[in-house]
């Protein structure tokens, strides 16, 4: 098994504290499938719940994270104004099984910023979690 470090615990705690409570989340990720490789175009398909309504989207990208984020955006017409202004990835601990912490900054057309994080052992899933958390913050501000 993996040894849990203080850095792992801190990262997970910060993530949990920064996540909106379930009743305030408009968007939930139900499923994501990402395909990538050296001879194929990275593609992603997502299944989301938006206020209980199922939405699906798919897209391609320059890599698996880009494809996943594009697929989320394609399934959420209500969030098209959001621009990804910043994306930052940190490995919390060493090793190939390290926790990945993704911090993103989204901006709406009025210049409001939505900063969110995702923490997972998988870089793509941490990125998706950060994006969904940011979109939920945007929807909360909009009263959606």
pTM: 0.84
- The contacts found for 64-70 with CB under 8 angstroms, 24 or more apart, are 64/34, 64/36, 64/124, 65/123, 65/124, 65/127, 66/42, 67/34, 67/36, 67/42, 67/43, 68/32, 68/34, 68/44, 68/124, 68/127, 68/128, 68/131, 69/127, 69/128, 69/131, 70/44
Per-residue pLDDT of the chain (144 residues; tens, 9 = 90+): 667 777 667 666 655 556 666 777 899 999 999 999 999 999 999 999 999 999 999 999 999 999 999 999 999 998 889 999 999 999 988 888 889 999 999 999 999 999 999 999 999 999 999 999 999 999 999 888
CATH class of 6-142: alpha beta
For the chain, the structural domain boundaries read 6-142
């Amino acid at each position: 098994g993996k040894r849990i470090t203080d850095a792992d615990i801190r990262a997970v705690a910060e993530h949990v504290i920064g996540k909106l409570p379930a009743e305030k989340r408009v968007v939930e990720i139900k499923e994501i499938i990402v395909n990538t490789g050296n001879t194929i175009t990275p593609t992603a398909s997502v299944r989301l719940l938006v206020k209980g309504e199922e939405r699906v989207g798919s897209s391609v990208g320059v890599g698996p994270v880009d494809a996943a984020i594009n697929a989320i955006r394609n399934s959420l017409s209500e969030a098209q104004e959001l621009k990804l202004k910043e994306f930052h990835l940190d490995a919390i601990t060493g090793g190939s099984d390290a926790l990945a912490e993704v911090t993103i900054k989204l901006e709406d057309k009025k210049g409001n910023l939505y900063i969110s994080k995702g923490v997972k052992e998988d870089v793509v899933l941490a990125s998706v979690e950060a994006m969904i958390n940011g979109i939920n913050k945007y929807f909360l501000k909009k009263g959606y």
